[in-house]
Structures are given as C-alpha cells and as structure tokens.
Amino acid sequence: MKDNFKREINYLRISLTDRCNLRCIYCIPQEGVPLKPHEEILRLEEIIHLVKVAADVGISKVRLTGGEPLIRKGIVNLVRVLSKIPGIDDLAMTTNGILFPRFGPELKEAGLTRVNLSLDTLKPERFREITRGGDWEQAWKGVETALELGLAPVKLNAVIMRGTNDDEIMDFVELTYKYPLHIRFIEYMPIGEHSGWEERKLVTQQEMLGQIEKQYRVQPVMGIRGMGPAKYYNLEGSRGSLGFISPLSSCFCAYCNRLRLTADGRLRPCLHSTQELNLRDCLRSGASNQELAELFQTAIKGKPERHTMNEEGWKGRARFMQQIGG
C-alpha cells in the first residue's frame, strides 16, 4: 500500500523483546533502561496475528529485531509460523550473533531467509568495551555460522563512532576480500536519551567513502536483495560489498518502505517520530481483523515525509532503540 508521499510500504520491523544480552554504549545507557513487565510485551500468538493482518495490507517483508531477538523464548517456532504466512516472502533478522551458532541451523530450517549481524569492531578488547562485557569470539562465531549456512547475503552492521572505532573502517573493507560479507557502515544516530551521542562523534558516509576511495576502486551497485535504504558499492576484486546507512548526512526518507512494531505492540510509522498506534490494546480488547487492518492503513497514511533527527536529535522522546527495534 502507498503512503501519502507515494512510497510503497511493504516492510515491517518487529522488536520481539526490549531485553538484550549486550549493553552497547550507543544503544543502552550504563544503568540500563526500565524494562516492560512481561504482560505488556506482545505474546508470540499476538505477533503472528498482527503479521497476518499486516500481510493483508501489503506487508511482504518482515524483520525480527529487538532488543536481542534470539533471547526471546520460542523464536524458532515463531519463525516457522511467520515464514508460512501467505504474502510474507522475506523473513529476516537483525542480531548481535552471540546466540546464532546455537539457533542458526534451526532458524534456517524453520524458514529464516536472511540475517544481519551487528559487529562494530574486529578487536576483542574493544568489543568488550563497546558492548560493556561482550565476548567478540562468540559474536564472530555467529558471523561464521551465518556464512556456513549460506544465509546470503550476510550483512554486517557496524556503527562507526569517531574516537571509538573509526580507525577500523579499512579493516572492515579488507574483510570483504576474505569473506562474502556485505558491510554496512551505519552513521551514529542520536537515539535514546543519554546515548552519549555528540555531533563530533558522527562520521558521515562522505567521510568514510572518501577514506576508502583513497585506497580502493569503488563502484555504486544496484540490486542486492533486501537493499533497503543503504547505498551499496562494489569493490574491485572483493567477495562482498560495502553499504552506507546515512540517515543524518544523506536522508533516505524518500525511499523509506517500513513500519515498526515495538515490543509492547505499538505501531510506529517512523523510527524518529513519536507517533504510535496501540495495536496491542486493540487486539486484546477484541478488535476485528478489519479494525486492525485499518490501524495499519492509518499508520501508513500517517508516515511523515522525513525524520527531523538533524534538527531535533532525540529530545523529549521517551523510547530507546531496543524497545523500538533497531
């Protein structure tokens, strides 16, 4: 279905839980965030119900995220059911990969089509600092598992922060010569109060690409499955590719095709806007599928033309990334 700005909205990102097994410095404040009681989080059968309704209004791609989706009990069965919903032809996941060696094979067999793994550094000690205690080897085993399972294209998400990991841009580029990995450099966004964001820590796409082009021949590329808003580039002789997600330096809202469902069942037309529709309470109070479909349509029609992150930062927005679903 098209929104008011002629964008085809066919993609739903679902935060399965607001809980995470890591504490990334840019995502979760040191003291953690108040977690929602279990009864406020959507039950698995509620998620399935809402995805069926979403498919009826034209959603064909679903991404499971969080929090950490792999700590949600029943994840394999959820994937099994979601992957069979008529109209859903792409079921992907974004994970930190720590638990992927354990769940990956079953998830693939259950119908997971693709996986994006978040990995911001190739240095174990730095990983411990960025994630406040995570084990890099475990996360890397997650990447290896995804590659072995052939869940192609395997994308690696790296949030680049000046003074933290911006010295590793070339190391990530090198990785695409060793493995068929699609590296996606993500601009550090001001999301969640106290996330530590400062403008000076932002490394823009232009700056990263400028550095890379000094050493490598890069060519813009089209047509990688699940491309979304990232801009992709091929590197001569490489087995993978590079992508940039640059919401701050080159706003891609004109190509936005997504809605987000928060862990507590709110439908958000835009990551940055505070607008939310409470699907959970409607569902629990017996709304019909027709009424739920109308809420999806309202969200689609209510999508703002663009985010205002550059102008407003995260000011006054109560939520954190892991509640909304990154």
- Please give the residue ranges that form the binding site for ligand SAM (CB under 6 A): 20, 26-27, 65-66, 68, 94-96, 118, 157, 159, 186, 188-189, 191, 195, 321-322, 326
Beta carbon of residue 248, minimum distance to ligand SAM (angstroms, whole number)? 9
Cis peptide before 220 (omega within 30 of 0): no
What string of H, E and C letters represents the secondary structure of 188-253? CCCCCCCCCCCHHHECCHHHHHHHHHHHCCEEEECCCCCCCCCEEEEECCCCCEEEEECCCCCCCH
Q: What stretch of H or E contains 301? A: helix 289-301
Nearer to ligand SAM, 71 or 293 (CB): 71
Residue 245 CB, nearest approach to ligand SAM (Å): 8
Residue identified by tokens 């033309």 is 305
Using the minimum distance from each CB to ligand SAM, give the nearer residue, 171 or 213.
Answer: 171
- CA 121 to CA 131: how far, in whole Å? 10
Nearest one of 260, 248, 252, 212 to 230, comparing CA atoms: 252
Q: Whole-number minimum distance, CB 303 to ligand SAM, in Å?
A: 20
**243 vs 326, which CB is nearer to ligand SAM?**
326
| Least distance CB 159 / ligand SAM (angstroms) | 4
| CA atoms within a 13 Å half-sphere pointing along the CA-CB vector of 124 | 6
81 vs 202 by CB, closer to ligand SAM: 202
For 312, residues 6+ apart whose C-beta sits below 8 A from its C-beta are none
Residue nearest to ligand SAM (CB): 326
In the bound state with ligand SAM, the residue whose beta carbon lies nearer, of 13 and 52, is: 13
CB of 185 to ligand SAM, least distance (A): 10
Q: Please answer whether residues 43 and 37 qualify as being in contact, where contact means their C-beta atoms are separated by less than 8 angstroms.
A: no
Nearer to ligand SAM, 52 or 94 (CB): 94
Burial class (CB in 10 A: 0-12, 13-18, 19+), 138: middle
CB of 241 to ligand SAM, least distance (A): 17
**Shortest Å distance, C-beta 79 to ligand SAM:** 15
Give the chain's length.
326
Give the closest residue to 9 by CA, choosing from 52, 45, 57: 57
Q: Judged by CB, which is closer to ligand SAM: 15, or 282? A: 15
φ and ψ at residue 316, rounded to 5 degrees: 75, 5
120 Cβ neighbours under 8 A, 6+ residues apart: 24, 127, 130, 158, 159, 160, 161, 164, 165
CB of 118 to ligand SAM, least distance (A): 3
Q: Which is nearer to ligand SAM, 269 or 326 (CB)?
A: 326
Instruction: Name the minimum Å distance from CB 70 to ligand SAM.
Output: 8
Taking the least distance from each CB to ligand SAM, the nearer of 260 and 280 is 260
